[in-house]
């Protein structure tokens, strides 16, 4: 590997999925994995196979299909985890087993309840086991930044001897400060005698807002693998954001003298996809991918950028695939060919069946909205792909509301056997009234945890994209939908979440099918 290349190890599907409330199904994870591959991420951590049958299935599915990136699975340093991890990643063109084990006294004492020697023995044994399966083994001493340095050096030395080929230094609780973190890396380079046999990596959390700064400080002292998540999602305050690390390296070659393999023009759409499928919105002022990242408000700035973009922009929005400046070519007169051609240009590989559905949805939207831009197409494609089997479909929704009316919704749905059911409810607002009617008709017990709405594009005719999170059967389910009518989008988003919940409750499914 060239020494001026920083490799990107993306853990959106593993640490990112550990964001509170995020739960994706196999198809959604595959879709993100395809987008990561398209962006030319070097390593995709596809999941934690021993953690649940669902995770195992997604890692195996990604390993079978995604051939352009190394596919890694996470494993605790226990035999079952390592075995399960190998069973899931073994299908990959280039598999990796990532073994982790805590190295800090606080974790060893209170979590593992084991002494230092026993922990060292676990690390050695399980790395050696992983290395028998797979030539590519990563090891992470969890909570490294709060561990006694000498113990970390010893652990790293022993796991390299046992077969680890990448050593990842996690700042698990986001505690480090950039200068201090860089010094820890230097100390590791100096005090681990066999360090030249392995690649160094870092994995930084953002509890103090320093995950990207710490990662870049490590890069500055020679680390050549950085672990990231798209949009910086992940446990608690998240992980180092992929787009920020990559664009810092790309924008400041004068400082870093380094590059990555990432096709940065895929960043914007991948960010949107991850946001849609996880239900985690991107804050407007988020660096690189926030809605305001390339918007200029003050007159002085607007004057500057219109004369010369670089006056107030350090990056070209086109470099991240930002749709600004895209020519609007699609409208209600466009045909299937035009739609297919634009989808191809955007990198979507759609099947003939998907195209049939998309074309119908595209025509409906174009009738309502006139011109359709790339962001509308993103919303249509992700709507098509995220659809679970629609056990219940919305057939009719009519609301009356206003400041002198009691908000009332009449809802008609089509159930699994084609039977229709209709009811009318009142509520505190039109969405509440529609939700009450839907819940009355379907009868699956659920609690609305979160409701969010964003606009897909600008303008009064924009589609509203609604994301809801519900709790049903002690699990969380996300539902999404986009429509130019926000009450319709809201109703469809709830139906989407309920359909997902039903798909997870086989017993419930038979019971509810009789309902309408
Ligand atoms: O934050 C952490 O320490 C981790 C490890 C599993 C690498 O996610
Ligand atoms: Zn982590």
Rounded Cα distance between 421 and 442, Å, is 9
CA gyration radius for the chain?
Answer: 25
Rounded Cα distance between 413 and 488, Å, is 12
Q: Which residue has the higher pLDDT, 280 or 221?
A: 221
User: Separation of 170 CA from ligand 1 center, angstroms?
Assistant: 6
Pocket probe for ligand 1: among 101, 142, 229, the residue whose CB has the most ligand atoms within 8 Å is: 142
Q: Would you say residue 388 has pLDDT above 70?
A: no
DSSP code, position 470:
E
User: Separation of 371 CA from ligand 1 center, angstroms?
Assistant: 45
User: Separation of 119 CA from ligand 1 center, angstroms?
Assistant: 17
Rounded Cα distance between 187 and 7, Å, is 22
The string of pLDDT tens digits covering residues 30-49 is 999 999 999 999 999 999 99
Structural contact between residues 165 and 127, judged by C-beta atoms closer than 8 angstroms: no
Tokens of 472: 């049903």
* Residue 516: band (very low, low, confident or very high) from pLDDT cuts 50, 70, 90: very low
Closest residue by Cα to residue 334 from 356, 355, 354, 363? 363
Give me the helices (H) in 252-293, please.
Answer: 253-256, 267-278
Q: Is 313 exposed, middle or buried (0-12, 13-18, 19+ CB in 10 A)?
A: middle
340 to 188, 324, 333: CA distances (angstroms) = 52, 21, 14
Ligand with smallest separation from the Cα of 141: 1
Contacts of 180 by beta carbon, 8 Å cutoff, 6+ apart: none
Q: Would you say residue 392 has pLDDT above 80?
A: yes
Q: Residue 59: its pLDDT value, please?
A: 98
Rounded Cα distance between 174 and 187, Å, is 19
Give me the half-sphere count of Cα atoms (radius 13 Å) on the Cβ side of residue 194: 16
106 to 112, 113, 180, 276: CA distances (angstroms) = 9, 10, 20, 37
Taking each helix axis as running N to C, give the angle between helix 116-133 and helix 149-162, from 0 to 180 degrees, rounded to the nearest 10: 30
Give me the half-sphere count of Cα atoms (radius 13 Å) on the Cβ side of residue 328: 13
Closest residue by Cα to residue 28 from 61, 52, 50? 61
Ligand 1 atom index nearest CA of 143: 3
User: Separation of 84 CA from ligand 1 center, angstroms?
Assistant: 18
Beta bridge partners of 316: none
Ligand 1 atom index nearest CA of 168: 7
User: What's the pTM?
Assistant: 0.81
In this structure, the residue with its CA closest to atom 5 of ligand 1 is 142
What are residue 9's phi and psi, to 5 degrees?
-105, 110
Rounded Cα distance between 198 and 137, Å, is 10
The string of pLDDT tens digits covering residues 403-440 is 999 999 999 999 988 889 999 999 999 999 999 999 99
Other beta carbons within 10 Å of 159: 31
Rounded Cα distance between 396 and 415, Å, is 13
Ligand with smallest separation from the Cα of 234: 2
Pocket probe for ligand 1: among 45, 72, 126, 140, the residue whose CB has the most ligand atoms within 8 Å is: 140
Tokens of 398: 């009519």
Ligand with smallest separation from the Cα of 74: 1
Structural contact between residues 266 and 204, judged by C-beta atoms closer than 8 angstroms: no
Q: Would you say residue 175 has pLDDT above 70?
A: yes
Q: Would you say residue 511 has pLDDT above 70?
A: no
Highest mean pLDDT among 5-19, 275-289, 492-506: 5-19
Rounded Cα distance between 166 and 50, Å, is 21
Ligand 1 atom index nearest CA of 140: 7
Q: Would you say residue 514 has pLDDT above 50?
A: no
Give me the helices (H) in 370-429, please.
Answer: 374-386
Closest residue by Cα to residue 317 from 295, 335, 332? 295
* Residue 500: band (very low, low, confident or very high) from pLDDT cuts 50, 70, 90: confident
User: Separation of 117 CA from ligand 2 center, angstroms?
Assistant: 24
* Residue 485: band (very low, low, confident or very high) from pLDDT cuts 50, 70, 90: very high
The string of pLDDT tens digits covering residues 294-350 is 987 777 887 788 788 889 899 999 999 987 655 545 888 888 888 888 888 777 778
Taking each helix axis as running N to C, give the angle between helix 267-278 and helix 242-251, from 0 to 180 degrees, rounded to the nearest 10: 170
In this structure, the residue with its CA closest to atom 6 of ligand 1 is 100
Pocket probe for ligand 1: among 74, 78, 159, the residue whose CB has the most ligand atoms within 8 Å is: 74
- Using CB distances shorter than 6 Å, the residues near ligand 1 are 15, 74, 100, 140, 142, 168, 170, 172, 203, 205
User: Separation of 97 CA from ligand 1 center, angstroms?
Assistant: 14
Q: Would you say residue 240 has pLDDT above 50?
A: yes
Q: What SS3 state is found at 100?
A: strand
In this structure, the residue with its CA closest to atom 4 of ligand 1 is 172
In this structure, the residue with its CA closest to atom 3 of ligand 1 is 172
User: Separation of 214 CA from ligand 2 center, angstroms?
Assistant: 14
In this structure, the residue with its CA closest to atom 8 of ligand 1 is 15
Other beta carbons within 10 Å of 310: 11
User: Separation of 28 CA from ligand 1 center, angstroms?
Assistant: 23
SS3 string, 187-202, reads HHHHHCCCHHHCEEEE
Rounded Cα distance between 13 and 32, Å, is 8
Instruction: Write down the mean pLDDT value for the chain.
Output: 91
Q: Is 126 exposed, middle or buried (0-12, 13-18, 19+ CB in 10 A)?
A: buried
């Amino acid at each position: 590997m060239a020494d001026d290349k920083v490799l990107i190890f993306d853990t959106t599907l593993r640490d990112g999925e550990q964001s509170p409330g995020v739960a994706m199904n196999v198809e959604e994870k595959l879709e993100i994995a395809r987008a990561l591959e398209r962006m030319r991420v070097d390593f995709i951590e596809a999941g934690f196979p021993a953690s649940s049958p669902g995770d195992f299935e997604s890692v195996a599915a990604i390993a079978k299909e995604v051939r352009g990136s190394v596919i890694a699975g996470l494993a605790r340093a226990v035999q079952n985890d390592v075995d399960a991890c190998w069973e899931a990643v073994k299908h990959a063109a280039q598999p990796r087993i990532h073994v982790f084990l805590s190295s800090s006294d606080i974790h060893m004492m209170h979590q593992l309840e084991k002494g230092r020697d026993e922990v060292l023995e676990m690390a050695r044994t399980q790395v050696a086991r992983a290395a028998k399966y797979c030539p590519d083994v990563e090891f992470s001493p969890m909570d490294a930044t709060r561990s006694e340095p000498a113990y970390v050096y010893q652990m790293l030395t022993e796991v390299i001897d046992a077969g680890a080929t990448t050593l990842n230094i996690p700042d698990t609780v986001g505690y480090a400060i950039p200068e201090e973190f860089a010094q820890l890396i230097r100390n590791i380079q100096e005090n681990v005698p066999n360090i030249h046999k392995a690649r160094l990596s870092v994995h930084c959390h953002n509890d103090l807002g320093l995950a990207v700064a710490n990662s870049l400080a490590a890069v500055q002292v020679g680390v050549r693998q950085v672990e990231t998540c798209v949009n910086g999602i992940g446990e608690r305050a998240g992980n180092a954001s992929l787009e920020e690390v990559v664009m810092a390296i790309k924008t400041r070659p004068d400082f870093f003298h380094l590059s990555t393999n990432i096709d940065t023009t895929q960043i914007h759409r991948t960010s949107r996809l991850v946001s849609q499928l996880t239900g985690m919105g991107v804050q407007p002022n988020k660096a690189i991918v926030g809605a305001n990242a390339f918007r200029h408000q003050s007159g002085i700035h607007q004057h500057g950028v219109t004369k010369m973009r670089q006056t107030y922009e350090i990056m070209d929005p086109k470099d991240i695939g930002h749709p600004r400046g895209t020519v609007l070519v699609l409208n209600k007169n466009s045909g299937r060919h035009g739609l297919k051609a634009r989808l191809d240009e955007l990198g979507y590989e759609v099947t003939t069946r998907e195209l049939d559905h998309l074309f119908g949805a595209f025509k409906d939207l174009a009738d309502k909205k006139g011109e359709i831009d790339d962001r509308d197409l993103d919303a249509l494609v992700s709507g098509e792909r995220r659809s679970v089997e629609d056990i219940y479909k919305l057939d009719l929704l009519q609301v009356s509301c206003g400041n002198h009316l009691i908000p009332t919704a009449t809802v008609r749905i089509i159930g699994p056997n084609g039977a229709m059911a209709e009811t009318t409810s009142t509520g505190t607002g039109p969405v509440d009234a529609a939700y009450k009617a839907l819940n009355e008709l379907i009868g699956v017990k659920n609690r609305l945890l979160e409701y969010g709405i964003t606009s897909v594009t600008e303008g009064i005719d924009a589609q509203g994209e609604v994301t809801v999170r519900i709790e049903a059967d002690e699990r969380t389910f996300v539902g999404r939908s986009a429509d130019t009518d926000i009450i319709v989008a809201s109703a469809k988003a709830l139906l989407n979440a309920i359909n997902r919940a039903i798909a997870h409750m086989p017993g419930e499914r038979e019971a509810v099918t009789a309902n309408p």
